[in-house]
Amino acid sequence: MSRRHPSDTAGPTQRQLRVGELVRRALADILMRGDVHDEVLGRTSITVGEVRSSPDLKIATAFVMPLGGIDAEPVLAALRKNSAEIRHLVAGQVDLKYAPKLRFELDETFDKMDETRRLLDDERVRRDVEG
């Protein structure tokens, strides 16, 4: 019986999921406490929705959204500008051999949830589901 290579699977490995969740928790904690020395990040509440790790665990993409989606682009720019400092802070909290390089993207799942909710509230859709 041959073993499959991790890249042959459709989704992330358990290890990728575990590392992503560890980094997500550390990022959320760092941003909540205001440990990053940046004016924009210091005055903004930021939700870290998900962190996805690359197969080699050297890159972690964090999907973030400022509270209410206000000033998303300046917040994203500030996170990217301070990614080296944030990486250092994450490395201090997470027990990994290598601290992953951090990338930041806007979390669009909130918009998708609102769109789904709007569609489900539509009278035509409700009629089809109930019928």
CATH of the domain at 41: 3.30.300.20
Q: Say whether 103 sits in a helix, a strand or coil.
A: strand
pTM: 0.77
- What CA–CA distance (Å, rounded) separates 44 from 4? 44
DSSP 8-state class, residue 38: -
Q: Say whether 24 sits in a helix, a strand or coil.
A: helix
Return the biggest CA–CA distance within the chain.
56
- What confidence score (pLDDT) does residue 17 get? 96
Q: Say whether 122 sits in a helix, a strand or coil.
A: coil
The answer to whether residue 1 is domain-embedded is no
DSSP 8-state class, residue 131: -
- Contact predicate 119/127, CB 8 Å: no
Q: How confident is the model at residue 6 (pLDDT cuts 50, 70, 90)?
A: low
The answer to whether residue 27 is domain-embedded is yes
The answer to whether residue 44 is domain-embedded is yes
Residue identified by tokens 């073993």 is 3
Tally the domains of the chain. 1
The answer to whether residue 70 is domain-embedded is yes
Task: Dump pLDDT digits (tens) for 79-113.
Answer: 999 999 999 999 999 999 899 999 999 998 766 66
Look up the domain containing 23 and give its range. 6-130
- Give the residue from 88, 25, 91, 13 showing the smallest Cα distance to 54: 13
